[in-house]
Amino acid sequence: MIQAGEKLPEGILKTLTDDGVIEINPAEFFVGKRVVFFGVPAAFTPGCSQIHLPGYTDNSDAILAKGFDLIACMACNDAWVMNAWSKSTGAAGKVMMLADGSAHYAKTLGIDLDLNHVGMGMRCKRFSMVVQDGVVESMNIDERAIDLTSAASTCGI
């Protein structure tokens, strides 16, 4: 699993823009930025939609005021699902949604989660990290509750 002090690895995530789906390599895209980067197993699930994401969207101004340049969320869904989730939750314009449809980047980070036994396929563990200029400052994983990876815990708000 990626640790504090390590550079983000190369990888491809996708996001939907007005120009269509584009690829984002976090290892390059986060360079020169202070980013709060968090991930959820899946969009539209109860904990992710009702607890985890709202902590970041509702506090986006306070997070940015603490010196962050970007709030980014990754889930193991496609870019269209992430876009729909963003619009339906009010995250649009506040949180950059990044799709890891086949959990390849989750595996690269060492945070992949096999949920085949409940019919959800490969996902990512619930995580949050602070990334400064492409280097992980802090890394948090929540196994069940949403405590260590919340906006309050991760960003100190």
Contact between 115 and 90 under an 8 Å Cβ cutoff? The reply is no
124 is catalytic: no
Cα(35)–Cα(90) distance, integer angstroms: 20
Q: How many whole angstroms separate alpha carbon 98 and alpha carbon 94?
A: 13
Amino acid at 87: K
Task: Report d(CA 125, CA 84) in Å as an integer.
Answer: 21
8 Å CB contact between 108 and 26: no
E-only strand ranges, 1-147? 13-17, 20-24, 34-40, 70-75, 96-99, 112-114, 122-124, 126-132, 135-142
CA-to-CA distance for 56 and 95, rounded, in angstroms?
A: 8
Choosing from 48, 73, 76, 155, the catalytic residue is 48
Show which residues are catalytic.
48
